[in-house]
Structure 1
């Protein structure tokens, strides 16, 4: 783990709460690339950020259960050819639809926030 004093300013400002609000979409995005087992999803997310940010395993496993309950992913047991038996997750058509809606909502939200933060119209003193 990198000590906070060694992180760039942008990383210090990163909000884990903001990331946590998009855990479902992040997991669905990972599964769009192919079926994966639980810890593999964790590693994929961690590695995508160069190890600087991760979602806690407990949060992810709760997410997997919720996504399966909601029909957005299907869980199945893999074979034992690579060691222990692992539970894999596969995105469903409903999961793909939710992913597309969530990404569209994220883009719209990001655009509004960018507009509000990057506006050239600052009040004159």
Structure 2
């Protein structure tokens, strides 16, 4: 069965939501919707993580001590909840990126076992 490549990519990315959020926060503190926009814009709009998924990730990351949150002092509009990465979050981010890189290298070698540099044919 051939799966739609967009759905396949979304499934792969979904498992890395926490690492993606931590990566955004490595650049500086940010509020929820701004993180959403950063992720969307980084892919040229090709990938969006649903806001509900992101807010669940924020809660999970905070509970695990990987991010901390605080309320911004907004002079216009509603108050925003900001997030910043912790030292523990930086360490987890580094481990996850190393694991992803190792996994990607293994998959690349399995998809191209002869090392031809060409993408495998799709049937």
TM-score, normalised via structure 1 length: 0.85
Q: How far did 1:119 drift? A: 1.3
Specify every segment of 5 or more residues in structure 1 that has no aligned partner in the other structure, as ranges.
Answer: 1-10
My pick for the range that moved more, 74-83 or 59-68, is 74-83
Q: 1:41 aligns with which of 20, 35, 57?
A: 35
Residue 38 of structure 1, CA deviation = 0.2
Structure 2 residues not aligned, in runs of 5+: 116-123
Q: Does residue 18 of the first structure (1) align with residue 33 of the second (2)?
A: no
What secondary structure, in the 3-state scheme, does the structure 2 residue paired with 1:55 have? coil
Give 1:83 deviation, angstroms.
Answer: 2.2
Q: Distance in 2 between matches of 1:39 and 1:82?
A: 16
* CA distance in 1 between partners of 2:53 and 2:98 (Å): 24
Other-structure match for 1:91? 85
Separation of aligned partners in 2, 1:82 and 1:35:
19
Query: RMSD across aligned C-alpha pairs, in angstroms?
Result: 1.7
Q: Could you list the runs of 4 or more consecutive aligned residues of structure 1 that deviate by over 3 angstroms after TM superposition?
A: 11-14
Evaluate the alpha carbon distance shift between residue 49 and residue 14 of structure 1 in structure 2; reply closer, same or farther with a 3 A threshold: farther
Give the alignment of 1:96-111 within 5 angstroms. 96-111=90-105
